[in-house]
Amino acid sequence: MVQTNLLFFGTKADSRLGMFRGGTAFVPILVVLLAMSETLDWYTIVPALLLSLVLCSAVGVQFPSSTSEAALYGALVGFVVMVAAASVTYASMGTLHNVPTYVYWLPVLLAATSVITYHVSSHFHWYTVDHYSNASIQIM
């Protein structure tokens, strides 16, 4: 069974390191979303910024202990967001034709981003364990 640990708020040091992890995830998510957009105007840039911010926050709170754990968590987050976006679009418009293409790639994008974030954060020691967290972290 694969398990992961999440830390939303802990100490100020935890928050600072979480911001570093989130920032690491923000850049690739934003770059891919903008690259997959058909046009680059305010109607695509602003939603891409907001979606990148939300998704990097989801990736930044994870404390994976392996590459596969990071990939699985990222893919699951991407899958949940993909299904939610497609469901809302279908419920409001009665069709899935208006769902942006990148929405269907979110599980792959977030799996890759989670792995990148895991390796960068492990390298720079951006994972902590303190008395606020019962996380068991193995940095490889």
Q: Domain locations in the chain?
A: 11-123
Q: Tell me the mean pLDDT in the region 98-126.
A: 93
User: In whole angstroms, what is the distance from residue 130 CA to residue 12 CA?
Assistant: 12
Q: Does residue 133 carry a pLDDT above 70?
A: no
User: In whole angstroms, what is the distance from residue 101 CA to residue 80 CA?
Assistant: 16
pLDDT tens per residue across span 43-53 = 889 999 999 99
Taking Cα atoms as reference points, which of 111, 105, 113, 101 lies closest to residue 28? 113
Q: Does residue 132 carry a pLDDT above 70?
A: no
pLDDT tens per residue across span 26-44 = 999 999 999 988 888 988 8
Classified as helix, coil or strand, 62 is strand
Q: How many CB atoms lie within 10 A of CB 40?
A: 11
What pLDDT, on a 0 to 100 scale, did the predictor assign at position 136?
Answer: 45
Residue type, 11: T
pTM to 2 decimals? Answer: 0.84
Taking Cα atoms as reference points, which of 33, 125, 11, 21 lies closest to residue 73? 21
